[in-house]
Structure 1
């Protein structure tokens, strides 16, 4: 087990190194000078050079990369070019919107997907199963930002049950949760579709095992065999997908947050791109990548604790 964890940890470290290089390189090739952008069209070269030195943009790419990585390792994500405050402060302000939104969407996805997957598996080959397969395929195919705009048109513009965007803050938890409901539904739709198909496949495989037939031969009804034996084992791959979906939802809320004007991490990245605030874009993107890789690592370790075959492999 120790060897397995060390191997996965080494893979995590290598993934983070590669991700940091790719993120830094991609950001650096974006055309435009942040200093010139901040000073405007009428700025002279002397002022631009002075601002570049103040923002520590006058070093070589290697020097700036090393300074950026070493700063993140010590908890210093740099200072925003636009807001002139530490990036860590911006992240702490915005994470309390992105993180609850992710948890909310994951909860909705799970509550929708697991019952639907069970229904589809227990009615395999029937009309209900085909209907669920078609609906989940549509859920996977529909872009979540397009679905989000449909939700706004229906529930905000037509029915006026929800606001079209914005976030009132956590002073009123009820209003805050209500503001996150439509974005969470838009995020949960494709994830619920994927999870429902995984649940269906896992349960169908489990129902074909010998111990399920033995349980039925001992007098258990089909429903009892599913609840007592099949469902528990079928949930193992489902739990793995749920763990992975958490990181994907956290990193994938950028478009949804912009559709609903939520001041979360996704909107912070979008604003950083439009304002040429490269240090914000680099640091927040790297933080999201770190979250994805760490959650994936934890899921791998947890799965190995359940399945000893992985440890031996």
Structure 2
């Protein structure tokens, strides 16, 4: 187990190093100069040069890269070019919206997908299975931003029982959760459909294995064999999807945050790109990449917990 953990940890560190270099190079080669953008088209060259020196843009790129990475290792993400505040403070403010939204959506997705997938696998080829598969096909086909607008039209405009957008803050937790409910549902629908289909397929494969037939021969019913033996062995692909879904929900909710006017990380990236605030873009994207790699690392550890064969091989 220790060797398995060491290999995964080494892979995590190398992935972060490569990701930081790629992110920095991609953002730096993007057209447009932050100083020129901030001062406007009619700015004098000496004024632009002075602002570039103030922002630290006049030093070589390799120095800026190592200064940026060194600062992140110490918890310092730099200072925003536009707002002149610490990027870490901006990220902390927005993270307390994006992270609960992702966890809320993932919880809703799991609560819907697991019963649906198990029901479909347990009744393969029957009306219940066909109904679940039809619903999941619809969930995969519907874009989440279009579904989000339908939710706003129904629950916020017509029924007037939910807010259409904005975030009141966590001073009143119930109001905050209420504001995140519609965005979480919009994000959870397609993820629940994908997860239910993967769980169904994995369970069907597991139910065809020899150990299930042996369990049935010993007197277990099909349902007992599914719950006691099939479900655990079907969890590895499901854990993979859960890890990818959390990463997507945390990093890919830009459109949903725009629809509901949520001041989260996705909206911060969108605003920073439009304002050429490079240090914010680099730091937020790096944080999201770190979250994705960390979730994959934890998923690999979950594999070892679920499947003892991985521990023995390690």
TM-score, structure 2 as length reference: 0.93
Q: Is the 8 A contact 2:206 2:230 kept in 1?
A: yes
Matches within 5 A, 1:20-99: 20-99=20-99
Could you tell me how far apart the structure 2 residues matched to 1:231 and 1:110 are?
Answer: 14
Could you tell me how far apart the structure 2 residues matched to 1:227 and 1:6 are?
Answer: 33
Q: Cα offset for 1:236?
A: 4.1
Report the count of equivalent residues: 313
Bigger mean CA offset, 281-290 vs 158-167 = 158-167
Could you tell me how far apart the structure 1 residues matched to 2:236 and 2:119 are?
Answer: 18
Secondary structure of 2:234's counterpart equals: helix
Residue 149 of structure 1 pairs with residue 149 of structure 2: yes
Q: Cα offset for 1:160?
A: 2.0
Residue 122 of structure 1 pairs with residue 110 of structure 2: no
Could you tell me how far apart the structure 2 residues matched to 1:82 and 1:150 are?
Answer: 35
- Could you say which residue in structure 2 is the equivalent of 1:196? 196
Stretches of structure 2 that go unaligned for 5 or more consecutive residues are: none
Q: Is the 8 A contact 1:77 1:283 kept in 2?
A: yes
Stretches of structure 1 that go unaligned for 5 or more consecutive residues are: none
Could you tell me how far apart the structure 2 residues matched to 1:306 and 1:178 are?
Answer: 35
Could you tell me how far apart the structure 2 residues matched to 1:3 and 1:98 are?
Answer: 34
Could you tell me how far apart the structure 2 residues matched to 1:52 and 1:116 are?
Answer: 56
Q: Is the 8 A contact 1:165 1:261 kept in 2?
A: yes
Q: Is the 8 A contact 2:233 2:307 kept in 1?
A: no
Could you tell me how far apart the structure 2 residues matched to 1:98 and 1:243 are?
Answer: 16
RMSD: 1.8
Could you tell me how far apart the structure 1 residues matched to 2:18 and 2:196 are?
Answer: 33
Q: Is the 8 A contact 1:244 1:299 kept in 2?
A: no
Could you tell me how far apart the structure 2 residues matched to 1:161 and 1:33 are?
Answer: 46
Query: Deviation digits for residues 32-61 of structure 1, max 9, x if unmatched?
Result: 111111122332111111111111011122
Could you tell me how far apart the structure 2 residues matched to 1:241 and 1:231 are?
Answer: 15
Secondary structure of 2:257's counterpart equals: helix
Query: Deviation digits for residues 127-158 of structure 1, max 9, x if unmatched?
Result: 33233223223322332222212222222222
- 4+ long deviations beyond 6 Å: none
Q: Is the 8 A contact 2:183 2:256 kept in 1?
A: yes
TM-score, structure 1 as length reference: 0.93
Could you tell me how far apart the structure 1 residues matched to 2:231 and 2:297 are?
Answer: 25
Q: Cα offset for 1:17?
A: 1.9
Could you tell me how far apart the structure 1 residues matched to 2:38 and 2:306 are?
Answer: 53
Residue 261 of structure 1 pairs with residue 261 of structure 2: yes
Query: Deviation digits for residues 95-143 of structure 1, max 9, x if unmatched?
Result: 1111110110010000000000011111111233233223223322332
Q: Label 1:7 to 1:224 Cα distance change in 2 as closer, same or farther (>3 A).
A: closer
Q: Is the 8 A contact 2:235 2:306 kept in 1?
A: no
Could you tell me how far apart the structure 1 residues matched to 2:45 and 2:296 are?
Answer: 47
